[in-house]
A and B are shown apart, each in its own frame.
Chain A
Amino acid sequence: GEDVEQSLFLSVREGDSSVINCTYTDSSSTYLYWYKQEPGAGLQLLTYIFSNIDMKQDQRLTVLLNKKDKHLSLRIADTQTGDSAIYFCAESMPGTYKYIFGTGTRLKVLA
Chain B
Amino acid sequence: ETGVTQSPTHLIKTRGQQVTLRCSSQSGHNTVSWYQQALGQGPQFIFQYYREEENGRGNFPPRFSGLQFPNYSSELNVNALELDDSALYLCASSLGGESNQPQHFGDGTRLSIL
Contacts and interface: CB of A to CB of B under 8 A. Distances in A.
Interface of A: 4, 30-31, 33, 35, 40-45, 48, 50, 88, 90, 92-104
Interface of B: 4, 6, 31, 33, 35, 40-45, 48, 50, 55-56, 58, 90, 92, 97-100, 102-108
A98 B102 contact: no
Contacts of B42: 4, 88, 90, 101-104
B99 A92 contact: yes
Contacts, number: 71
B105 A43 contact: yes
Contact of B99 (A41, A45, A94, A101): A94
A41 B108 CA distance: 7
A30 B99 contact: yes
Contacts of B108: 41-42
B94 to A, nearest CB: 9
Contacts of A42: 4, 6, 90, 105-108
7 contacts: A4-B42, A42-B6, A42-B107, A96-B99, A97-B98, A101-B43, A103-B41
Given A92-B99, A97-B97, A45 B41 contact: no
Contacts of B105: 35, 42-45
Given A42-B90, A98-B45, 12 more contacts: A41-B107, A41-B108, A43-B43, A43-B90, A48-B102, A92-B100, A97-B97, A98-B48, A99-B33, A99-B45, A103-B40, A103-B42
Contacts of A97: 31, 33, 48, 50, 55-56, 97-99
Shortest Cβ-Cβ A-B pairs, 9 listed:
A101-B42, A98-B45, A97-B56, A92-B99, A42-B105, A43-B105, A42-B107, A97-B48, A31-B100
